[in-house]
Amino acid sequence: MLLHKEGRGPLIGFAITLIGLNAFIALFAGGTFSYVFLAISIIFYLAVINFFRYEPRKHSDGPLEIVCPADGRVVVVEETEETELLGCRCLQVSVFMSVFDMHVNWIPCNGVVEHVSHTDGRFLSAHLPKSSTDNERSAVIIRSEGGDRILVRQVAGAIARRIVTYPEVGQRVDINQNLGFIKFGSRVDLYLPLGTKVHVKVGQKVQGNITEIATLPR
């Protein structure tokens, strides 16, 4: 198992904090309580390591293919009006990441980045439909090789409070590249042009950079 680069700082910080707390408890409390606290600390630290695990993946890309941007479960597949950035009706596919999923986000298609933005907001549960518009979020619009505009929105949740987004405007991006990272999970929304053929359904378990989400109309 590899660790993602976004985990280095938090893991060092957690390690220093837990070592300090355990040393303090051992010095001033000792006995059974110190051993119990040590066991809890180890379990907690292993859980944090699991949050930041990373698995390199390779996908054979195609010009019309949309690949899943995150590990998790599909919670939305519907036609909707995207008014914030695209200003048109789209097909929305949303993937919810639990704390047990790998939290790396992936580029869903080949193309050029046209827009990158971050919006402050609330921290509602990412299961709620309002989280897409009310929660803290980052947005990336990619112009596909066929000319379609694909919106990828990283949405923070009740636990996730840190969104990292890598692409920059004007950058050429491809499947197999990391889009970013949402620390401690949450949700990723895809907005696709009407006429796109979607290959997943609500409730389906999907994997980032492995599951084929959809095929673009052109």
CB–CB of 164/6 below 8 Å?
A: yes
Q: Rounded CA gap, 102 and 100, in Å? A: 7
**Burial of 56 from C-beta contacts in 10 A (0-12 / 13-18 / 19+):** exposed
Number of neighbouring beta carbons within 10 Å of residue 82: 18
3-class secondary-structure state, position 30: coil
- Tokens representing 60 are 């054979």
CB–CB of 201/99 below 8 Å?
A: no
End-to-end CA distance of the chain: give it in Å, rounded: 38
Set 41, 94, 144, 186: catalytic member: 186
Max CA-CA distance within the chain? 68
3-class secondary-structure state, position 201: coil
138 has catalytic annotation: no
- Residue 105's DSSP bridge partners are 180
Q: Which residues are catalytic?
A: 186
